[in-house]
Amino acid sequence: MRTDMHVQQGPPQPGPEIWIRGPVALPEEPPPPSPAAATPRRFSWVGVHGGAGVSTLASVYGGHDCGRDWPGPADPPSVLLVARTHAAGLAAALGALEVFRRGEAPHGLDLDAVVLVADAPGRLPRPLAERAKVIESVIDVYRVPWVPAWRLGDLTGRPPKETAALARLTGLVR
């Protein structure tokens, strides 16, 4: 044990006050934003071929219907490419992805995902499923199943449960 410790004589040296009298108030943190207050991101639906389903999707999920055109300056720059799951539709989706990859899409557009809309009820034949997997390997893909009511023009029902992720992405609240 050490016994040669130096004891300071005289008045204490000035230093920082380390004692706080009374309760300590924690700094106020802003409350987290409520989910209802969050503004959903706006999207432009762009069909990569005629009959892709852009108007239907824009009606059901919201967003801007660009048809087969690129979004204009006043339109949301976040793009959702839309294609049917038939051979021509999947080929057109791959072609549109290539346009973005090469940087040939209009400046300022942000490609968010590809939405594949079923061209018929049931599962995709293997060759088409393989093409869809190629698309899924390079970008997020949302699938929309065959909806008989939509074919008849009835867009009033709830979207299919298989599209819950797409509904969350687009901010659809029903």
Averaged pLDDT for residues 137-149 = 96
**pTM for the complete prediction?**
0.76
The share of the chain scoring above pLDDT 90, in percent, equals 72
Residue 10: pLDDT band with limits 50, 70, 90: low
Give the model's pLDDT for residue 170.
Answer: 92
Q: What is the pLDDT of residues 52-101, one digit of tens each?
A: 999 999 999 999 999 999 999 999 999 999 999 999 999 999 999 999 99
Strand order through the sheet with 110-117:
64-65, 44-47, 78-84, 110-117, 141-144
Domains of the chain as residue ranges with CATH: 40-170 (3.40.50)
Above 80 in pLDDT, residue 123?
Answer: yes
Q: Strands (DSSP E) along 13-169, which ranges?
A: 44-47, 64-65, 78-84, 110-117, 141-144
pLDDT of residue 173: 66
